[in-house]
Amino acid sequence: MQQLPLGVRLRERATFDAFVVSPANAHAVSRLQELADGGHGVLWLWGAQGTGRSHLLQAACAAAPVSNRVGYLPLLGLEASGEDLLEGAGSLDLLCLDDLDGRVGGRDFELAMFGAYRAIDEARHALVVAASAPPAALPWALPDLGSRCGAAEVFQLRPLDDAQQEQALRQRASARGLDLPEETLRYLLRRFPRDMTSLGRLLEQIDEASLSAQRRLTVPFVRAIIGDAAGDP
């Protein structure tokens, strides 16, 4: 008989503690922590999927003092309402805009963002942008905004190397209370796309299945849950 997984589970938290900082990303993370703490500046983080952009933005919100007003806007998930959402956002102590690239080029959106940018800059608050490209590579509709973003502190987030990735995966598994044997860990890293977003999704799937099946996370068990990538590329 299958046990139904309970609604209450250990959740992963997107915090700075849960983020594996590689030397290549150390500077970006340290600047972000300063801004989360109430510092002034404009940070532009860019990198491929799975390099931790969303995680870091959420971590900054979580790390900000409770008395500070902060806001996280995932622009990809809020397609219809970018301009409305940016209204008044310039008054926040820390504004985090995730997945900005899709919205660049839209004049109304950029006007709203320009307003928020100036308000934040004038109040000496903080703006953090995450995107898949640096500002200079995007098709800005407002050169005024493009130029200001181009002069921001731009950091490329680099993917983790193998050892760091192993560490990150282990950390995330244990945050979920999963006991992931060494072989299973290696199996996952060998067989699946090695970015943290994809690996996170796999963990989620495994977590779900293992709760109802009450089984040890052996390689055959995990393979049965998520299918073999070599089999269905």
Partner 1 sequence: MPTPLTALADTPVDSPLWTRCAQVLAAELPEAHFNTWVRPLQALESDGTLRLLAPNRFAVDWVNANLLTRIGEWLQAEHGAYAPIVTVLVGERRDPAPAAKSPAATALPATARGFGKPAVGIVIGARLNPDTTFETFVVGKSNQLAKAAAQQVGENPGTAYNPLFIYGGVGLGKTHLMHAVGHAIQARKPDARIAYVHSERFVSDMVKALQHNQMNEFKAAYRSLDALLIDDIQFFAGKERSQEEFFHTFNALLEGQQQVILTCDRYPKEVDGLEERLKSRFGWGLTVAIEPPELETCAAILKTKAEATHVTLSDEVALFIAKRIRSNVRELEGALRRVIAHSRFTGEPITLEFTKESLKDLLALQARLVTIENIMRVVAEYYKLRVADLLSPGRSRSLARPRQVAMALAKELTRHSLPEIGDAFGGRDHTTVLHACRRIKALREEDQRIAEDYLNLLRTLTA
Judged by CB under 8 A, does residue 163 bind partner 1?
Answer: no
Q: How many chain residues touch partner 1 (CB under 8 A)?
A: 68
> Which tokens hold the place of 67?
């008395």
Distances from the Cα of 32 to the Cα of 49, 59, 60, angstroms: 19, 9, 7
Each residue 136-155 as x (binds partner 1 by CB under 8 A) or -, in order, gives: xx-----xx-xxx-xxxxx-
Q: Of the candidates 62, 87, 85, 59, which has an alpha carbon nearest to the alpha carbon of residue 74?
A: 85
Q: To the nearest whole angstrom, how small is the minimum distance from the Cβ of residue 98 to partner 1? A: 9
CB 98 within 8 A of CB 47: no
List the Cα angle 222/227/230 in 5-degree steps.
Answer: 115
Of 91 and 205, which has the nearer Cβ to partner 1? 91
Tokens 């990198």 -> residue: 47
123 phi/psi in degrees, rounded to 5: -85, 0
Judged by CB under 8 A, does residue 50 bind partner 1?
Answer: yes
Q: CB under 8 A: which stretch of 121-129, 174-182, 205-213, 214-222 binds partner 1?
A: 121-129
Judged by CB under 8 A, does residue 66 bind partner 1?
Answer: yes
> Which tokens hold the place of 107?
């004049």
Interface residues with partner 1 (CB under 8 A) are: 11, 13-14, 26-27, 30-31, 48-50, 54, 58, 61-62, 64, 66-67, 69-74, 77-78, 81, 84-89, 91-92, 96, 111, 114-115, 118, 122-124, 132-134, 136-137, 143-144, 146-148, 150-154, 156, 159, 190-195, 229-230, 233
